[in-house]
Structure 1
């Protein structure tokens, strides 16, 4: 294996651990991998553009921030309205995540949006306000509050050891 290949494998392994919480995280990645800062940025950009890295962002530990009332609102929208309603809901400050999924196995919902809050009563009020503000009173939906926090982690890019 060539030295460049080893450096890129090391970069992928470092990215799995998350960016270091320092003022210049790409500089630290460069030092850890033997690449230049520009090479680190270029490879990350290349991997994003090619689809190898689908998302490059934060993993927020909501409960550690005191946000224990977390609700996923699932909507059964006509397919021709999903993009438009999804864009409007995603623009709302209380919606932290909004995405479309294909209906599967009898699950009729095709739009999902997440709302995080400190108190359940407040999140429920925010959902009612969203429904009213966007004229979604007649749209079939469910509000699913989290009961358990699962371990959150970023993407995995290197093969796991057997």
Structure 2
């Protein structure tokens, strides 16, 4: 759990300046620093501190897969025994077309799946081909699997605070 009370007015201004995302420029932290009125190195140090404190989880690009032409997106779900789930997860997470991979508790008998991996592709045929590759890669580590296709785009947002 983080303690946001350790943040000061400069941290608040940094958050307000970046809550819609970092500027898309060669040196985004320098642009934020100019807007906030502090040196670039201080902006970077403050982000590191906020990450260390758990106030900011991560600083990362969040691509819009649809705009990049990846319109067939499927969450693959795998029934993997817990004693081999780490090995299976490492195999899937290493694939270039898997954007995120994580474990979740099963809810048998309706939901036996313990390992989830998001696959992005240009069309469903490509998703299906990739799922076949994944199944071959997992072999006997996975008992069963299915694909849940995206049906709508959800707006992803980052940190939000009041101005």
Could you say which TM-score interval applies, normalised by the shorter chain? 0.7 to 0.9
Asked if 1 retains the 8 angstrom alpha-carbon contact of 2:33 and 2:40, the reply is yes
Counterpart residue number, 1:121: 125
Please give the alpha-carbon distance, in whole angstroms, between the structure 2 residues aligned to 1:116 and 1:69.
Answer: 6
| Candidates 142, 146, 153, aligned match of 1:149 | 153
Please give the alpha-carbon distance, in whole angstroms, between the structure 1 residues aligned to 2:76 and 2:140.
Answer: 12
Counterpart residue number, 2:134: 130
* Equivalent pairs, count: 156
Counterpart residue number, 2:4: none
Counterpart residue number, 2:23: 20
Q: Secondary structure at the match of 1:135?
A: helix
CA shift at 1:135, angstroms?
0.5
Asked if 2 retains the 8 angstrom alpha-carbon contact of 1:8 and 1:33, the reply is no
Mapping for residues 15-54 of structure 1, pairs under 5 Å = 15-54=18-57
Structure 1, residues 60-85: CA drift from partner, whole Å, max 9, x if none? 10111111100000122212222111
Q: Which moved more, 1:90-99 or 1:100-109?
A: 100-109
- TM normalised by structure 1 equals 0.86
CA shift at 1:137, angstroms?
7.7
Q: Secondary structure at the match of 1:151?
A: coil
- TM normalised by structure 2 equals 0.85
For structure 1, list consecutive stretches of 5 or more residues without a partner in the other structure: none
CA shift at 1:136, angstroms?
4.6
Asked if 2 retains the 8 angstrom alpha-carbon contact of 1:48 and 1:55, the reply is yes
